[in-house]
Chain A
Amino acid sequence: QVQLVESGGGVVQPGGSLRLSCAASGFTFSSYGMHWVRQAPGKGLEWVAFIRYDGSNKYYADSVKGRFTISRDNSKNTLYLQMNSLRAEDTAVYYCAKDWHKEPYYFDYWGQGTLVTVSS
């Protein structure tokens, strides 16, 4: 069965950096696009970034463009999110999500999320 397991969350000071990982199993990771989606405490879902199945194309939300970088290692079945210049408003649970397709469309599986807290 499909499993997505996020890790790397924690507490970081404003202006700091953090790298999230998402270990995928139960499907052919290299055949599907992947996303990061976040949810601030008590708020709705916010899409963060997408990476094409082969890493050749990436899209970002305006709120993170230039600060966050999505990447993947298909040999390790792992998705990453490098987060730099973190702000208080980046505090959220970050979910890794599998797309149904190679291109962005919809999310058919989600991880359980990892909490990132940006605070001094």
Chain B
Amino acid sequence: SYVLTQPPSVSVAPGQTARITCGGNNIGSKSVHWYQQKPGQAPVLVVYDDSDRPSGIPERFSGSNSGNTATLTISRVEAGDEADYYCQVWDSSSDSVVFGGGTKLTVL
């Protein structure tokens, strides 16, 4: 089955840029979606279709996808961005939703 690989943790200082990667075999051929989950809360969609943002999500959140890596970029990081982030795809070859293992973003 299809596997998505994320770094367990990323740390960044306030005001800097955080980049969270999601690796998968030829992931550039799939649509990648990203979720933010804060402790004790349900996940929230922050990027869909590689790079689109739902209404209400700040422009600081952006995404890209090419080759074997998709990336969620958070610009001008704020303390409130500290959370777990998950990438997700639909794998049509196995008829299953696949999540990455999640990345904990720490704001120093």
Q: Using a CB–CB distance below 8 Å, which chain A residues touch chain B?
A: 35, 37, 44-47, 50, 59, 61-62, 95, 100, 104-108, 110-113
Contacts and interface: CB of A to CB of B under 8 A. Distances in A.
Nearest to A105: B90
Given A44-B86, A44-B101, A106 B96 contact: no
Interface residues of B, number: 25
Contacts of A105: 31, 90
B48 A45 contact: no
Contacts, number: 55
B79 to A, nearest CB: 23
A106 B101 contact: no
A104 B88 CA distance: 12
B99 A47 contact: yes
Given A59-B96, A61-B96, A106-B33, A45 B42 contact: no
A47 B97 CA distance: 6
Contacts of B31: 105-106
A113 B1 CA distance: 27
Q: What 8 A-B pairs are tightest by C-beta distance, nearest first?
A: A47-B97, A106-B33, A110-B42, A44-B102, A45-B99, A59-B95, A44-B101, A104-B90
